[in-house]
Amino acid sequence: MENVCQLTLSLSELNGIDPKAYLRHVLTHIADHQINRIDELLPSNVADQLTKKAD
Protein backbone atom coordinates (compact mmCIF):
# COMPACT_ATOMS: atom_id res chain seq x y z
CA MET A 1 0.00 0.00 0.00
CA GLU A 2 2.85 2.36 0.78
CA ASN A 3 4.23 1.92 -2.74
CA VAL A 4 0.86 2.80 -4.26
CA CYS A 5 0.76 6.01 -2.24
CA GLN A 6 4.30 6.93 -3.21
CA LEU A 7 3.60 6.24 -6.87
CA THR A 8 0.42 8.30 -6.86
CA LEU A 9 2.11 11.26 -5.18
CA SER A 10 5.03 10.98 -7.61
CA LEU A 11 2.57 11.05 -10.52
CA SER A 12 1.03 14.20 -9.11
CA GLU A 13 4.46 15.85 -9.07
CA LEU A 14 5.10 14.73 -12.66
CA ASN A 15 1.82 16.41 -13.63
CA GLY A 16 2.94 19.62 -11.92
CA ILE A 17 0.48 19.29 -9.05
CA ASP A 18 1.26 19.97 -5.41
CA PRO A 19 1.09 16.46 -3.82
CA LYS A 20 -0.66 17.80 -0.70
CA ALA A 21 -3.31 19.55 -2.80
CA TYR A 22 -3.83 16.36 -4.82
CA LEU A 23 -4.16 14.20 -1.72
CA ARG A 24 -6.59 16.70 -0.18
CA HIS A 25 -8.66 16.67 -3.39
CA VAL A 26 -8.81 12.87 -3.56
CA LEU A 27 -9.70 12.43 0.12
CA THR A 28 -12.41 15.06 -0.21
CA HIS A 29 -14.02 13.48 -3.28
CA ILE A 30 -13.41 9.74 -3.06
CA ALA A 31 -16.21 8.89 -0.61
CA ASP A 32 -18.91 10.17 -2.97
CA HIS A 33 -17.22 9.04 -6.19
CA GLN A 34 -18.56 6.09 -8.18
CA ILE A 35 -16.11 3.18 -8.26
CA ASN A 36 -16.49 2.68 -12.01
CA ARG A 37 -15.31 6.30 -12.52
CA ILE A 38 -12.35 6.18 -10.13
CA ASP A 39 -9.95 6.98 -12.98
CA GLU A 40 -11.35 10.51 -12.92
CA LEU A 41 -9.37 11.05 -9.70
CA LEU A 42 -5.99 10.24 -11.26
CA PRO A 43 -3.48 13.10 -11.18
CA SER A 44 -3.53 13.60 -14.94
CA ASN A 45 -7.32 13.95 -14.88
CA VAL A 46 -7.54 16.50 -12.06
CA ALA A 47 -4.46 18.58 -12.90
CA ASP A 48 -6.51 21.44 -14.33
CA GLN A 49 -8.66 21.60 -11.17
CA LEU A 50 -5.75 21.95 -8.73
CA THR A 51 -3.24 24.63 -7.94
CA LYS A 52 -0.07 24.02 -9.88
CA LYS A 53 3.03 23.22 -7.87
CA ALA A 54 5.39 26.15 -7.48
CA ASP A 55 8.84 25.50 -8.97
Render pLDDT for 10-29 as a digit per residue (tens, 0 to 9): 888 888 899 989 989 999 99
Question: Sorting pLDDT into bands at 50, 70 and 90, what band is 9?
Answer: confident
Residues 30-43 have pLDDT tens digits of 999 999 999 999 88
- For the entire predicted model, the pTM comes to 0.75
List, as one string, the DSSP characters of 1-55: -HHHHHHHHHHHHHTTB-HHHHHHHHHHHGGGS-GGGGGGGSHHHHGGGSPBPP-
